[in-house]
Structure 1
Amino acid sequence: MRTKIFAHRGDKHDAPENTLIAFTKAVALGVDGIETDVHLTKDGHMVIIHDEDVDRTTDGQGLIKDLTLAQLKRLNANQTHPELGIQRILTLGEMVQALNDLHFTGDVNLEIKTDHIHYPGIEALVADFFATHAHSFNVIYSSFNLQSTQQMLKLAPQTETAGLMIYHYRAMKTLFKNRQIKIFHPEIRLLMVHPIFSFHHYFRPWTVNTKFEIAFCLYHRYVGLITDNPALALKMRNHIQGGK
């Protein structure tokens, strides 16, 4: 089994995170998966962005929940790679269409960002969207909010829901024991301090960025890893685990 390489917010190393160009570059690299994040705007649109506010990743300010889609679309989501020009915040629909157009057939881990601000009804909106829209890829759900995790298990029982193991470790273990979740997404530093190699088939750690961290995951053949530098991880995988 080769470890699957997931691009964290797209190819964040070579493009502004969670933008069209970041996803395009990640697919071009040949990643197995993409990890990204969804929030809900003031007027009820699902948008792809990591933070609860736009301050860090755009030229604007304010919380996603207080801004309309039209307001968000006026912002430049490229604050890290000026040579790549203006990038706009994507809706969930725009991201899915872009990946369909790129014929991406890997995994997309959609993190429902409700751990700080809970957007009422976002779980149902996400589940309904994927139930009614064609997508060329496999969907995985995750959230740091245990209520969102449990909601997704009920709303989309046939879709993999991964356990993010920080705030609700014991509850996640119970869900795993009850066979409701199959995969854990632990932070890499926790695994390196407390390695549990016998469970390598159940771990897809984040955010695996240094050569040492990547090698650690590859040598122990975790089922996947989530990284800001997918090009490096893919190169190291070919060296450590061999090609296809």
Structure 2
Amino acid sequence: MDVVRPQVVAHRGASHDNAEHTLRAYVAALDAGAEALECDVRLTADGHLVCVHDRDLRRTASTRTLVSNTELADLDQLDFHSWKNPWAELDDEAPDPDDQLDRVLTLRTLLEVVADYDRRVEVAIETKHPTRYGGLVERRLVDQLRHLGWDRAGSPARVMSFSWTGLQRVERLAPEVPLVMLVERARNWSMLRRMVGPDWLVGPGIKELTEHPRLGPRITRAGHDLHVWTVNSEEQLDLCLELGVKAVITDRPAYILDLLDTRESAAG
């Protein structure tokens, strides 16, 4: 049986080596050959979708500021890259800070980069919940996809969430956009399998797939393709290949692409 080569999706960009969710991280992922980019989105106080994972910025910008309480112009004054390499000033090989590459990244900017790229690149957008703005996040997201004509079949965009309600909103607003139901715990699948749409994709974590060997086959037997996060090692990739996973989300796109190329060369 032929092994299906999964799509390699850069998790928050090439975030193993670069500060996550910065344009620098996404450019590095594209340069490495990533076939898709993954991002998390949150809504600012003045209604902009920005690529940020946590509800506050303690981890990535050294401030307790909440994204939802802050306007974009204020976020734009923060340093989103130094946490990744705090000794950069002592490292002769560290790249110089760049306002274009290292500041807060809006979803609009990321989508424009993808739209203008010289090959097809897909984008997997995760909406974060709970949030004070509720369904406004999905409405703003669909507005941006519609602006690019990406709300129709064949769109390079797909929407992911751990929130079934959030995905339902997207399905109502843009029924042709692919949806990925993220699964946090293996035990949740028994309930989720009765709720997800028949053509929804399913996104379990690699840790759950590893610790619960029956989970992957149960999902695929129910008729859903697997998009797995966060796959960073050779062993994890091998498990995904055994399961016929359609997309692997990784912090290390260059490394995973190299492993896949090596396997294809050996098989050929």
* Fold match by TM threshold 0.5: yes
The worse-fitting range, judged by mean Cα deviation, of 66-75 and 216-225 is: 216-225
**Matched residue type, 2:7:** K
Residue 238 of structure 1 and its aligned partner are, at CA, apart by 1.1
- Correspondence for 1:109: 124
1:151 is aligned, of 169, 174, 185, to 169
* Residue 169 (str. 1) matches residue 169 (str. 2): no
1:239 aligns with 2:251: no
CA deviation map 1:46-66 (0-9, x unaligned): 111111111111143311011
SS of structure 2 residue aligned to 1:216: helix
Unaligned runs of 5+ in 1: none
Q: Secondary structure at the match of 2:194?
A: helix
Contact 1:33/1:109 (8 A) holds in 2: yes
Match 2:20 to one of 13, 17, 31: 17
Whole-angstrom distance in 2 between the partners of 1:36 and 1:211: 23
| Deviation for aligned residue 1:99 | 2.2
Change (3 A) 1:22 1:146: same
Name the CA shift for 1:137/1:235 in 2 (closer, same or farther; >3 Å): farther
- Report whether the alignment pairs 1:36 with 2:39: yes
Q: Which residue does 2:78 correspond to in 1? A: 75
Q: 1:137 to 1:9 in 2, by over 3 A?
A: farther
Write the mapping of 1:210-229 to structure 2, written as runs, cut at 5 A: 210-229=233-252
Matched residue type, 1:214: L
After superposing on structure 2, the runs of 4+ consecutive aligned residues of structure 1 that deviate more than 6 Å are: none
Helix, strand or coil: the match of 1:174? coil
CA RMSD of aligned residues (A): 2.3
Q: Is the 8 A contact 2:155 2:177 kept in 1?
A: no
Aligned with 1:190: secondary structure? helix
Q: Distance in 2 between matches of 1:104 and 1:146?
A: 32
Worse-superposed segment, 96-105 or 148-157: 96-105
TM-score between both structures, scaled by the size of structure 1: 0.89
Range with bigger deviation, 38-47 or 82-91 = 82-91
Checking the alignment, whether the CA contact within 8 Å between 2:8 and 2:248 is kept in structure 1 is yes
Q: Is the CA contact (8 Å cut-off) linking 1:37 and 1:111 kept in structure 2?
A: yes
Aligned to 2:142: 127
Instruction: Give the one of 52, 56, 65 matched to 2:55.
Output: 52
> CA offsets per residue over residues 80-111 of structure 1, 9 Å max, x none?
14423241011111111222333351221000
Q: Which amino acid aligns with 2:251?
A: D
Q: CA deviation at 1:73?
A: 0.3
Q: Distance in 1 between matches of 2:116 and 2:242?
A: 34
Q: 2:105 aligns with which of 71, 82, 90?
A: 90
Task: Measure how far apart 1:132 and its partner are.
Answer: 1.4
Q: Give the number of aligned pairs.
A: 241
TM normalised by structure 2 equals 0.82
207-216 or 19-28: which moved more?
A: 207-216
**102-111 or 40-49, larger mean C-alpha shift:** 102-111
In structure 1, give the amino acid aligned to 2:13: G
Secondary structure of the equivalent of 1:7? strand
Find the counterpart in structure 1 of residue 157 from structure 2.
139
Aligned to 1:179: 198
Separation in 2, partners of 1:42, 1:77: 18
Q: Which of the pair has more CA radius of gyration?
A: 2
Deviation at 1:8, TM superposition (A): 0.5
Give aligned-pair identity as a percent.
28
1:7, 1:188 → 2: CA distance? 15
Write the distance in 2 (CA, Å) between the matches of 1:189 and 1:58. Answer: 28
